Structure 1
Amino acid sequence: MCYVKSFLKIFFLLIIIIFLPPRYAYSSYLNDFSPSQQDAINKAISEDEDLGELIEYAPDLINFEEIFKDYSFQPSLIFNPGDANGDGIVNMMDYIIWITFYNKPYSPTSNVNPDFNNDGKVDGTDFVIWLGNYNKFYPTPTNVPFPTPTLRPTYTPTPTPRSTTSVTPTPKPNIILIVSDDQRHDSIQKMPFLNSQQENWFRFQNAFTNVSLCCPSRSTILSGLFSHHSGVEDNGSKRYFDENDNIVTKLDSAGYTTALIGKYLNKWTGETDEPYTPPGWDVFTPFMDPISYFNYKLVEEGVVKTYGDTPADYATDVLGQKALNFITEAKQPFFLYFSPYTPHSPFIPAPRHVGVDLSSVTLPPNFNEEDVSDKPEWIKNLPKRDPQEMLKHLKNQYRMLLSLDEWVENIYTALKDREIAYKTVIIYIGDNSFSHGEHRIVGKMCGYSYCNQIPLLIRYPQNTGRVINNPVSNVDIAPTLAYIAGVNLMNVDGLSLVPLLNGSTQPPDQPSRGILTHWGGTGVYELPHFWGIVTDKWNYMELATGEKELYDRVNDPYELTNLANIPEYSQIQSRLRLDLIDLMNQ
């Protein structure tokens, strides 16, 4: 009778795993962590909001063992991912050990441990953990060093010096930098005002982020440095960002009135959680962690103010009004860094947009990619995502962008009302993109376009807008701002985009250009480190596991067919690899 009950319990657990979305299948053990383990998770989330995002929507992409090691001082809290015999792989041998001890008195031994969540019981929760990690290797490939020594950048004290000095007409132009959060590159078409500005804005069709994660991307935008040069490679490394030498301090020294309104950098207050004003900012109104759309905190004139949950408290609207007030009153020339949380999770539209009809929105062809035989092992191990859940999140992101679009229009109208639109440059950029199940991935930090390709539009009042297809990067924003303002920003990795705005077909410093993409951050994410290069035609990447990927971006825009290691593409792959190494070591 006991064996019958055991069989039935396992059978129903299998049904749960097979037929329920991963989010719900995993929740049975996410809620079963010990209080100390939950404390470690909460501490990790407080430092990295994107970690909480994946725990909510795709926990299979989280390495809980790494969280417990990094955020707990008690070795007993270390999470066992299902490797009962400690041989480095989760397989049927571990299942046999689990079933042997199932529902029996168990004391930890040095040889085996089927109590995978360390709660003192060998039960169905441990089976769910084993099944969720079946056929995975531990330690994960994320922590494996690069197999090829040439694919390590040669670190130098500073990048290759490049000056951004320029001759700028006086008076200096005002500059508005609008940074959205987790916005997909193709979502501008869902923003009525921006989408209607076909003639007035330059629209960059091939803009990419160096590292597809909030803190690294925003550090790159402000510094002009690759993340492996700035040291800010994940959301927990803000401390490496040089607050004394960046585009803001340069603009401040040049006489600009500077303001940040919205999101600054993840965990910017450090361990003290005490607000301060970084060098260079005249007005500094950032979110305090944790960030949300209701019941959040802003720092206003050095004082923390708490907002509530009424429609008037919706964060994008509150920040938009503050941005509007600044540009209406600020002494010129001014620099506004307007950085709402939109459309980052939680996916909460403004109350006025909740019911907007988006029934025509569908998921792309690479959603839940069926044939992943040519993809790396980590993709093969991913579960398929729930299409209804992913579509709901995508639609809500689009609804959230409607409020931001309204404030972009309001800002532009205010510039015209103040009669300064003719001397104000506006740059609109996303910090990184977001995948809703493309290639079965939820989130970012991967090498595919749905992680790295971002929206970028520039209103440059001297010239009529047009489409620009040249590959560009968020590393180019700081040099562009420096060129426009006539300030000198040394030791940058990026290039000014002003020559493109003035009609050049290629940046003069680099006539044939590839864009460097990278992930080399914390091991709490179950995504392998990689280096990649994106051109107008190709996307090539090398993973820390030794696996390689090559996609034809023109003929295969959804990156369904991996061309790496196919003989007829060997010359292209070799050339891209050399270009990648050059980029890594510049």
Structure 2
Amino acid sequence: MSSRSRRALSVAAVAATLLAATACTTTAASPTTASPAPSASRPSPAEIESAATQPNIVLVLTDDLSKNLVRYMPNLRKMQQDGTTFTNYTVTDSLCCPSRASLFKGQFPHNTGIYKNHGSDGGFRLFHSRGQESSTFATDLKAAGYRTGFFGKYLNEYLPATSFNGGKPYVPPGWDQWFAGGNAYDNFNYALNENGTVKKYGKKPADYLTDVLSAKATGFITSSAATGSPFMLEVSTYAPHAPYTPAPRDAKLFPGLTAPRTAAYDRLPEDAPAWLATHPRLNAAQKSRMDAEFRKRAQSVQSVDRMLGALRDTLTTAGVADDTLVVFASDNGYHMGEYTLPSGKQTAFDTDVNVPLIVTGHGVKAGQTVEAVVENTDLRPTFADLAGERAPAEVDGQSLRQLLAGETPALWRKAALIEHRDPATDPADPDYEHDSINIPPAYDAIRTADFTYVQYVDGTREYYDRRADPDQLRNLAGSLPADRLTQLRASVRTMTKCVGAEACLRAASAIS
């Protein structure tokens, strides 16, 4: 029997119990067992149907996983065959914490206030101090009756022993099960806050973090499915973030593999923006290092791919696969030699902002490729929609439910917004860049299915016609007519001020 059927029977059983209770005369409960009397109203057919059809949700979020790694992940490619791939999924910033904050909140950085990984305008501490955790997709789904679980990387600056409640390690609201780490990028010798208790792990093969998260997540699925209630879990891996540590059993895979030599590899765009125009070409040592790093990245995603397979197998074994939506995404992309830049992110090039979003399962059309422009702000309203709830008014994104089903929404955005601010140069930041010439200045950008437009704080601009120039090697900003530039600047200004789903959709739909 599927979880949907079990839920329907469960609701029906509750209804029968309540009706029976109203037919009997009851005596006062003893002091030790007294509790508020339940409502005797009978659940409506709509309520029974809602309980029966709320799908489970499994979100696998990776760290710095670029599109060029998908080819090394057979279980992920199987998800593409079984489900829907979004080719124009764009993150609000190619930096961990701002992107993750947008995903949790369904908001752009100008509304979350999270622009960096730490400091006065970013990081977990600011997210927490602003009260942002009181309203996320976790609290939405918890309120909708879901059992929720989080496993892995939360927000930058979060530490497993972080205490905001009288000495007990902190667990954010909305989560029934909480297993979160801090600086665990090595995937060994880390600590996890396990439901308020900090547990330390070592350097044995069995301690490899992605495998630990996989085991805990599959256990959560099994226990949750047995209840017959809907559940939602996020598994947030540290892989393949630097230092790109693979599981020991994968450390010798792909001998001789090198970073892809695309048309953009070690090449500056024509009329490159000021920050990039004088960037030196890559030297032999940099190329050799990036080849080794790319090989390790391909190795490190093998454990992520196995986890995907294990999660889907567990859903099948538990009898809930047909009632579950599985979502795979990355917080941002990664460049490795493109545009003469050594390993990193933070740019508005597609290498960094256009990342995988692959969805399969309940209500998802199989083998579908969707070119509609979607963003990480869309996941929260999608989850709320699937749970039968209205997304909170603060949400800037749109539900993907129709697109997942193969339908065409009456109105959809034409552009995604990207907001990036100069990161603080703190060596403790896991995304710290030793050489400032590799970091773009602050910028706002819009990315459509056809072009990318970027305007920097120093006044320089980029415009790439990606249909004619998919590698983004010809910056056409200098040749655009004045009225076109005026139009683009106005569009960016409107989008960077929008608040709420209606206003943001309207702003993003007016772009041509």
- From 96, 99, 118, give the equivalent of 1:214: 96
- From 361, 364, 367, give the equivalent of 2:262: 364
| Equivalent in the alignment of 1:513 | 414
Measured after TM superposition, the shift of residue 276 of structure 1 is 0.8
Could you tell me how far apart the structure 1 residues matched to 2:310 and 2:160 are?
34
Give the alignment of 1:248-397 within 5 angstroms: 248-269=138-159, 275-330=169-224, 331=227, 332-357=229-254, 359=256, 361=258, 362-369=260-267, 371-372=268-269, 374-385=271-282, 386-397=286-297
Indicate how the Cα distance of structure 1 residues 373 and 423 shifts in structure 2: closer, same or farther if over 3 A, else same: closer
Q: Is the contact between residue 92 and residue 108 of structure 2 (CA under 8 Å) also seen in structure 1?
A: yes
Residues 234-243 or 325-334, more deviating: 234-243
Could you tell me how far apart the structure 1 residues matched to 2:478 and 2:279 are?
23
- Equivalent residue letter for 2:334: F
The runs of 4+ residues in structure 1 deviating greater than 6 Å are none
Indicate how the Cα distance of structure 1 residues 532 and 271 shifts in structure 2: closer, same or farther if over 3 A, else same: farther
Q: Is the contact between residue 537 and residue 554 of structure 1 (CA under 8 Å) also seen in structure 2?
A: yes
- Equivalent residue letter for 1:296: Y
| Equivalent in the alignment of 1:183 | 65
2:319 is equivalent to residue 440 of structure 1: no
Could you tell me how far apart the structure 1 residues matched to 2:396 and 2:382 are?
12
Indicate how the Cα distance of structure 1 residues 389 and 277 shifts in structure 2: closer, same or farther if over 3 A, else same: same
| Equivalent in the alignment of 1:97 | none
Could you tell me how far apart the structure 2 residues matched to 1:270 and 1:521 are?
27
Could you tell me how far apart the structure 1 residues matched to 2:278 and 2:173 are?
46
Structure 2 residue ranges without an equivalent (≥5): 1-48, 426-432, 499-512
- Equivalent residue letter for 2:273: P
Deviations 1:503-550 (A, max 9, x none): 233x4343x510001102534264300000000000000000100000
Could you tell me how far apart the structure 1 residues matched to 2:184 and 2:251 are?
23
Measured after TM superposition, the shift of residue 437 of structure 1 is 2.1
Indicate how the Cα distance of structure 1 residues 398 and 291 shifts in structure 2: closer, same or farther if over 3 A, else same: closer
- From 486, 489, 502, give the equivalent of 1:577: 489
Could you tell me how far apart the structure 1 residues matched to 2:113 and 2:50 are?
32
Deviations 1:45-102 (A, max 9, x none): xxxxxxxxxxxxxxxxxxxxxxxxxxxxxxxxxxxxxxxxxxxxxxxxxxxxxxxxxx
Could you tell me how far apart the structure 2 residues matched to 1:326 and 1:190 are?
27
- Equivalent residue letter for 2:400: L
| Equivalent in the alignment of 1:239 | 125
- From 441, 445, 448, give the equivalent of 1:532: 445
TM-score (structure 2 length as normaliser): 0.77
Deviations 1:106-165 (A, max 9, x none): xxxxxxxxxxxxxxxxxxxxxxxxxxxxxxxxxxxxxxxxxxxxxxxxxxxxxxxxxxxx
- From 452, 455, 466, give the equivalent of 1:553: 466
TM-score (structure 1 length as normaliser): 0.68
Q: Is the contact between residue 107 and residue 377 of structure 2 (CA under 8 Å) also seen in structure 1?
A: yes
Percent identity of paired positions between Structure 1 and Structure 2: 32
Residues 523-532 or 240-249, more deviating: 523-532
2:76 is equivalent to residue 174 of structure 1: no
Could you tell me how far apart the structure 2 residues matched to 1:228 and 1:346 are?
31
2:390 is equivalent to residue 477 of structure 1: no
Indicate how the Cα distance of structure 1 residues 570 and 552 shifts in structure 2: closer, same or farther if over 3 A, else same: farther
Could you tell me how far apart the structure 1 residues matched to 2:171 and 2:102 are?
20
Deviations 1:173-207 (A, max 9, x none): 11111100000023212101111334311001111
| Equivalent in the alignment of 2:396 | 493
SS in 2 for 1:170: helix
Measured after TM superposition, the shift of residue 402 of structure 1 is 1.1
Indicate how the Cα distance of structure 1 residues 168 and 234 shifts in structure 2: closer, same or farther if over 3 A, else same: farther
| Root-mean-square deviation over aligned CA pairs | 2.1
Q: Is the contact between residue 540 and residue 573 of structure 1 (CA under 8 Å) also seen in structure 2?
A: no
State the aligned residue count.
416
SS in 2 for 1:416: helix
2:358 is equivalent to residue 457 of structure 1: yes
Measured after TM superposition, the shift of residue 422 of structure 1 is 0.6
Indicate how the Cα distance of structure 1 residues 521 and 249 shifts in structure 2: closer, same or farther if over 3 A, else same: farther
Structure 1 residue ranges without an equivalent (≥5): 1-166
